Amino acid sequence: MTTDTLGNLGRGARLYAQCPGCGRTKTLDPAMLVAHAGPDCTVAGALKRVVCGECRVPAKTWRGYDPIAENLGKLDKQSPLR
């Protein structure tokens, strides 16, 4: 059983935010969210705290997935080369 926390985000997980004020879009760094909220914080809870660096208003956030990054991670583990 897995809980939806920052610490359980997979390698391919991607988090995005867009400011409703200035329209800037940003890809969030999960490691940075962990540094702020801790690995036990839920993903939804951490995303609620995201604000635009310029306007200081809550940003619209959504989640994505990068299958390429996920597969690269698997290749790393299986590779006999060091």
Q: Which residues bind Zn ion (CB under 5 A)?
A: 19, 21-22, 52, 54-55
**DSSP state at residue 4:** -
- Distance CA(79)–CA(60), nearest Å, equals 39
Closer by beta carbon to Zn ion, 19 or else 50 = 19
Closer by beta carbon to Zn ion, 15 or else 52 = 52
Q: The dihedral of CA 37, 47, 29, 58: what is its sign?
A: negative
Residue 51 Cβ, how far from Zn ion at the closest point, in Å? 9
Residue 56 Cβ, how far from Zn ion at the closest point, in Å? 8
Q: In what order do the strands lie in the sheet with 13-18?
A: 25-28, 13-18, 60-65
Closer by beta carbon to Zn ion, 7 or else 21 = 21
Residue 16 Cβ, how far from Zn ion at the closest point, in Å? 14
